[in-house]
A = this chain, B = another copy of it.
Amino acid sequence: MEGLFLLEGDKMAKEALEQAEVVHIYAMEDWIEAHKASIHSKEIPFTVITERELKAISALTTPNKVLLVLKQFTQKLETISLQKGYALYLDQIQDPGNMGTILRNADWFGIPYVFCSEGCADSYNSKVIQASMGAIFRVKVIHIPLAELLEANADIPVYGTVLEGSNLYEIEPAQNGLIVIGNEGRGISPELQSLLTHKVTIPRGKNGGAESLNAAVASGIVCAVFCKPEGN
């Protein structure tokens, strides 16, 4: 299935019908019936399947009516400018659930681009797609080395979450920049740390015991602080 990916469930499938190129639909009869207008107008091939057949092909524990085969998006870099607002850069985020959740964070906070280093999970992995909850239709995911990205965008602030950085709440975030999120076990690699202009830490609670936060949670907390709507 080169250039294709799978997506499951009623909610995301509805979004996909509107926002993506659907190659084939495998769905239960009532789902096809409920969406026949758009299926016909877009001339999408479909196969009616039973609940039992859906269970057999689904990767979900509780499959929900429909499974789609979609065309992967083509993301072109030429026009990307990081001179306004924030973008995320993921350094070897390996867990597909984390990656999908980070895309969902970006979507919530209005971050248009999520860049990925080599060694990140495949952004079309079905667990990434499901955890993104539709973010893949709105957030652009682009695999590119950080150094290359910064060549085209010199002088932008590059923030990264580390364990011994400046207190997140004492920073005055710039109007734009890149937020680097490190690997689940090892954090941001030394090579990429040398490209950071600001090292940031989420302060641990007074009696906190954990060694670190989950990467998707950490990215959510940083995005919440950096991408607050104005006036907050």
Chain B proximity of A101: nearest CB distance (Å): 5
| Interface pair A203/B220, CB less than 8 Å apart | no
| Interface pair A210/B108, CB less than 8 Å apart | yes
Query: Which bucket holds chain A's interface residue count?
Result: 35 or more
Chain B proximity of A228: nearest CB distance (Å): 6
Total copies of this chain within the assembly? 2
Q: Give which listed residue, B133, B169, B213, B229, contacts A108 with CB less than 8 A.
A: B213
* Contact flag A213-B167 (CB < 8 Å), given A97-B97, A220-B220, A224-B202: no
What separation, in Å, do the CA atoms of A108 and B205 have in the docked complex? Answer: 6
What separation, in Å, do the CA atoms of A211 and B12 have in the docked complex? Answer: 11
Chain B neighbourhood of A170, CB < 8 A: 232
What separation, in Å, do the CA atoms of A228 and B133 have in the docked complex? Answer: 29
What separation, in Å, do the CA atoms of A19 and B60 have in the docked complex? Answer: 35
Chain B neighbourhood of A135, CB < 8 A: 209-210
Q: Which residues of A contact B (CB under 8 A)?
A: 97, 101, 104-105, 107-112, 131, 133-135, 138, 167, 169-170, 202-214, 216-218, 220-221, 223-224, 227-230, 232
